[in-house]
Structure 1
Amino acid sequence: MHELTTNHNKKSWKVWWNLLRPHTLTAAFIPVFIGTAHAGFDAIHIPLFLTMLLACLLIQAATNMFNEYFDYKRGLDNEKSIGIGGAIVREGVQPKTVLYLAYAFFGIALLLGVYICANSSWWLAAVGLICMAAGYFYTGGPVPIAYTPFGEIVAGFFMGLVIISISYFIQTGTVTNDIMLMSLPTSLLIGAILLANNIRDLDNDKVNGRKTLAILVGKNNAIGVLASMFIISYGWTIVLIVTGLTEIWTLLVFISAPKAIQAVKGFIGKSEPIEMMPAMKCTAQTNTFFGFLFSIGLLIGYFL
Structure 2
Amino acid sequence: MEKLKFWIEAFRLRTLPLALSSAILGSFLAYANGQFSPLVFGLAISTTIFLQILSNLANDFGDSQHGTDNANRVGPERSVQSGKISKKEMKRMIVVFIILSFISGGLLIFSGIKTANAGMMILFFVLGIASIVAAIKYTVGKNPYGYSGFGDIFVFVFFGLLGVCGTFFLHTNQFEPLLLLPAASIGFLSAGVLNLNNMRDIKNDTASGKRTLVVRIGSQNAKVYHALLIILSPVLSLIYVIKTWQSVYQLMFLLSIVPLGFHLYEVFKNHVPDKLNNQLKVLALTTFFFSVSYSLGVFLVK
**Structure 2 length-normalised TM:** 0.90
Contact between 2:193 and 2:284, CA under 8 Å: does it hold in 1?
A: yes
What SS class does the counterpart of residue 143 from structure 1 fall into?
A: coil
Is the CA contact 2:73–2:204 (under 8 Å) kept in the aligned structure 1?
no
Residue of structure 2 aligned with 1:119, choices 85, 108, 111: 111
Aligned partner of 1:144 in structure 2 is: 144
1:239 aligns with 2:239: yes
1:47 aligns with 2:39: yes
Output aligned runs, 1:1-304, within 5 Å: 9=1, 11-40=2-31, 43-78=35-70, 81-121=73-113, 122-123=121-122, 124-244=124-244, 247-301=247-301, 303=302
Counterpart contact for 2:112–2:170, Cα < 8 Å:
yes
Contact 1:20–1:65, Cα closer than 8 Å, also in 2: yes
Q: Distance in 2 between matches of 1:226 and 1:84?
A: 22
Partner SS, residue 241 of structure 2: helix
Q: In the aligned structure 2, how far is the partner of 1:39 from the partner of 1:28?
A: 18
CA RMSD of aligned residues (A): 2.0
Q: Per the alignment, in what secondary structure is the counterpart of residue 73 of structure 2? A: coil
| SS of structure 1 residue aligned to 2:252 | helix
Gaps of 5+ in 1: 1-8
- Rounded Cα–Cα distance in structure 1 between residues aligned with 2:245 and 2:184: 13
Deviation at 1:74, TM superposition (A): 1.0
Unmatched runs of 5 consecutive residues or more in structure 2: 114-120
**Structure 1 position 274, deviation (Å):** 4.0
Which 4+ residue blocks in structure 1 deviate beyond 6 angstroms? none
Partner of residue 4, structure 1: none
In 1, are the aligned partners of 2:40 and 2:108 still within 8 Å (CA)? yes
**How far 1:270 sits from its partner (Å)?**
3.7
Equivalenced residue count is 293
Label 1:50 to 1:224 Cα distance change in 2 as closer, same or farther (>3 A).
same
Instruction: State, as a whole percentage, how many aligned pairs show the same letter.
Output: 22
Q: Deviations over 1:15-66 (max 9, x none)?
A: 2222122232233211011111011165321122111111111011111111
Q: What letter is aligned with 2:21?
A: I
- The TM-score with structure 1 as length reference comes to 0.89
